[in-house]
């Protein structure tokens, strides 16, 4: 049966060429959407490296004043005033808040290994680990005991540790920035820190200690751990308390949960748009496929009549029409897989197209295309199977 179907498909190759290309294009589009969705699911399940539950962000807007003009003692005043609020549990200062598009990059060099690695940086105060519930897997978070140390204490993720000190233990090692202006010491290791969104691709990340009394750096973001169930109306009380410290500044206040939802919406809208476009394209492919199958079945009425006359059953005709379409779809799918498998083999898209994503997207795309082909061939196959031999043989 299969050999017979292959012969029929080959003899009608010129007629099936455009249809095969249409199925191939539909397969590629479905594969692309499925790959994006699966990669997003894969990233969503990976640990973020912190917990933003019941955490609020406060961005300090100093107006025309530069950040460097902020007095060092203001941070301690802010901490004490904010902790006076009954809803506040922890107060920390960072160079930028999670769930924003802010990024600070720098290159660091290890004198022991000679490695020079670019990484994302976040300056954070001693209380940030408690405010964001950052789990340190080895070593410790920096603290007041590091005040006055000749080196800058830092906590880095495993990815950066492996790149900076390949095959070696990073904990306790020292390295410098690219210009050798600062010596930094690794005091702790975390698994990950994906600050932008739950769909952020893991990157090199390092967090250095923010000490306003020991350096010239001035950060302008506060992270607050608040009591569970704190209502949004707390924003007014928080703003009043901040104004007591510096009335000439303004403050942008938002819960991290709200910022996270906004980031997710921004990232998922393009995927939703692509999904709608793909749905319209599949609908057009379905209509075209149905029309071609109907036309091909009408052209083959004499052939169908002859088969019925020599003893073929209606079910045999039905199965032949459906099987031919599934075979044609299989040819297009195999060709598509041969082309698309080059992506994980060559690593052209990096981790975006790893093997689990490729295999999952290929499987989903095959199911969609086979289901579409089956649905489009059911009615033409049923109509062909209902033809009587006499009617089919007298057809002109």
Same domain, 69 and 41: no
Token digits of residue 106: 């720098």
Instruction: Answer whether residue 68 shows pLDDT above 80.
Output: no
Helix (H, G, I), strand (E, B) or coil at 362: helix
Question: Which residues constitute the domain of residue 122?
Answer: 64-248
Asked whether residue 55 is assigned to any structural domain, the reply reads: no
- Whole-model pTM: value is 0.81
In a domain, 118, yes or no: yes
DSSP 234-245: HHHHHHHHHHHH
> How confident is the model at residue 89, as a pLDDT?
95
User: Domain count of the chain?
Assistant: 2
- Considering the domain architecture, whether residues 10 and 130 belong to the same structural domain is answered as no
pLDDT at 299: 62
Residues 297, 348, single domain; the answer is yes
Same domain, 243 and 316: no
At 62, is the pLDDT very low, low, confident or very high (cuts 50, 70, 90)? confident
Read off the pLDDT of residues 107-124 as tens digits, 9 standing for 90 and up. Answer: 998 887 788 899 999 999
**Whether 209 and 129 share a structural domain:** yes
SS3 220: coil
Considering the domain boundaries, does residue 144 fall inside one?
yes
- The 10s digit of each residue's pLDDT in 337-346 is 999 999 998 8
Same domain (yes/no): 68, 187 = yes
Rounded CA separation 116/113 (Å) = 9
Domain boundary among 248, 271, 301: 248
Q: Which of 200, 194, 196, 193 lies closest to 101 in space, CA to CA?
A: 196
Same structural domain, 138 and 71: yes
- Which of 195, 223, 248 is at the close of a domain? 248
pLDDT at 167: 86
Quick one: pLDDT at residue 282? 77
Ranking 248-257, 260-269, 314-323 by mean pLDDT, the lowest is 314-323
Q: What is the mean pLDDT of residues 78-86?
A: 94
Would you tell me how many other CB atoms lie within 10 Å of the CB of residue 217? 14
Count CB atoms within 10 A of the CB of residue 388.
Answer: 12
The reply to whether 59 falls in a domain is no
Residues 336 and 199 in one domain: no
pLDDT of residue 22: 79
- The answer for residues whose C-beta is within 8 angstroms of residue 128's C-beta and 6 or more apart is 92, 93, 94, 134, 207, 223
Residue among 75, 191, 171 at smallest CA distance from 127: 75
Indicate if 243 and 266 belong to the same structural domain.
no
Of the residues 188, 220, 248, which one is the last residue of a structural domain?
A: 248
186 shares a domain with 277:
no
Highest mean pLDDT among 169-178, 222-231, 307-316, 365-374: 222-231
pLDDT of residue 374: 82
Q: In which element (H, E) is residue 374 found?
A: helix 355-385
Whether residue 53 lies inside any domain: the answer is no
Same domain, 84 and 174: yes
Residue 172 is assigned to a structural domain of this protein: yes
Asked if 148 and 273 sit in the same domain, the reply is: no
- Is residue 348 in some structural domain? yes
Longest dimension (CA), the chain: 101
């Amino acid at each position: 049966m299969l050999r017979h179907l292959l012969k029929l498909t080959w003899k009608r190759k010129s007629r099936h060429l455009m249809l095969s290309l249409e199925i191939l294009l539909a397969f590629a589009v479905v594969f692309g959407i499925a790959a994006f969705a699966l990669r997003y699911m894969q990233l969503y399940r990976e640990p973020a490296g912190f917990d933003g539950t019941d955490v609020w962000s406060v961005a300090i807007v100093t107006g025309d004043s530069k950040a460097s003009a902020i007095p060092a003692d203001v941070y301690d005043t802010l901490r004490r005033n904010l902790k006076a609020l009954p809803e506040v549990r922890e107060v920390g200062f960072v160079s930028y808040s999670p769930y924003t598009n802010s990024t600070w990059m720098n290159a660091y060099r290890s004198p022991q290994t000679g490695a020079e690695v670019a990484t994302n940086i976040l300056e954070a105060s001693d209380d940030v680990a408690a405010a964001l519930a950052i789990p340190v897997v080895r070593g410790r978070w920096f603290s007041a005991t590091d005040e006055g140390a000749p080196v800058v204490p830092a906590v880095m993720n495993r990815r950066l540790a492996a790149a900076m000190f390949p095959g070696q233990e990073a904990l306790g090692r020292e390295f410098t920035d690219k210009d050798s202006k600062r010596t930094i010491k690794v005091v702790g290791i975390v698994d990950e820190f994906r600050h932008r969104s739950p769909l952020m691709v893991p990157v090199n990340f390092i967090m250095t200690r923010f000490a306003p009394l020991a350096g010239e750096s001035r950060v302008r973001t506060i992270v607050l751990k608040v009591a569970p169930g704190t209502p949004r109306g707390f924003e007014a009380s928080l703003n009043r308390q901040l104004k007591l410290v510096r009335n000439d500044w303004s403050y942008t206040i938002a819960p991290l949960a709200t910022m996270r939802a906004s980031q997710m919406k921004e990232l998922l809208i393009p995927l939703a748009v692509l999904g709608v476009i793909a749905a319209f394209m599949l609908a057009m492919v379905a209509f075209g496929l149905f029309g071609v199958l109907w036309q091909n079945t009408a052209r083959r009425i004499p052939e169908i009549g002859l088969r019925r006359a020599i003893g073929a059953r209606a079910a045999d005709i039905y199965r032949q029409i459906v099987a031919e379409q599934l075979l044609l779809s299989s040819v297009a799918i195999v060709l598509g897989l041969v082309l698309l498998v080059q992506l994980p083999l060559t690593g052209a898209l990096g981790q975006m197209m790893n093997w689990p994503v490729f295999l999952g997207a290929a499987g989903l795309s095959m199911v969609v295309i086979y289901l579409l082909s089956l649905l489009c061939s059911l009615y033409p196959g049923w109509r062909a199977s209902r033809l009587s031999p006499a009617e089919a043989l007298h057809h002109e």
